[in-house]
Amino acid sequence: MTEEPRYAKFWDRFGAYILDALIVGLISYGINYLNFISLKSFYIYLPIALIAILYKPYMESRHQATLGKMALNLKVTNLNYEQIDFEKSLLRSLIVMIPALFFIPVQYLAFYNPNLLAIEGFWNFSKGVAETYPTMRTFNSIYSLVFIADLIFLLTDSSKRNRSLKDRIAKTLVLQK
């Protein structure tokens, strides 16, 4: 890279995060909603969960950006401003992937629990899962704490690089194109 890198600003990164949450969230929510109210199949839930979990590492290693980052002209690089590989992108995403992976076994149990399968409606089913498996609240809390920690690291980065916790773990940067 010959010119001075332009590091992504907080609000651009936050905007990309919101766009990605809307894109991935609406698609996975929509499919899971239909699954919960009709089929109630773990085998529909599982691939949707895995695609949602692997979306970020795949997109950032293949295209240097998720759809949200692309929309805001951001890209992820290593410290030498080069494209990252899948392993580095996976490492970068681990802090959010690990808490998300904890949901899968609980959902497996839920989809095979006859009492829960008898519940009608998406919200009632979700509430029943949360009441039957209180560890879901713990996983949600862990997920929230990880998000907050990542945000704190990003907001308190004293360098001009605006690096989050996941950037520091994986030794990556987010740049403006």
20 in any annotated domain: yes
The identity of residue 10, as a single letter, is F
pLDDT exceeds cutoff 90 at 88? yes
**CA 165 to chain CA centroid, nearest Å:** 14
Structural domain boundaries, residue 29: 10-176
**Confidence label for 114 from pLDDT (cuts 50, 70 and 90):** very high
Digit-coded pLDDT (tens) for 37-82: 999 999 999 999 999 999 999 999 999 999 999 999 999 999 999 9
Q: What's the total number of domains in the chain?
A: 1
3 in any annotated domain: no
**Confidence label for 28 from pLDDT (cuts 50, 70 and 90):** very high
51 in any annotated domain: yes
The identity of residue 172, as a single letter, is T
Residue 1: its pLDDT value, please? Answer: 53
Residue 3: its pLDDT value, please? Answer: 83
**Confidence label for 21 from pLDDT (cuts 50, 70 and 90):** very high
pLDDT exceeds cutoff 70 at 162? yes
Q: Is 117 left (phi over 0), alpha (psi -120 to 50) or beta?
A: alpha
5 in any annotated domain: no
1 in any annotated domain: no
Q: Is 162 left (phi over 0), alpha (psi -120 to 50) or beta?
A: left
Residue 117: its pLDDT value, please? Answer: 95
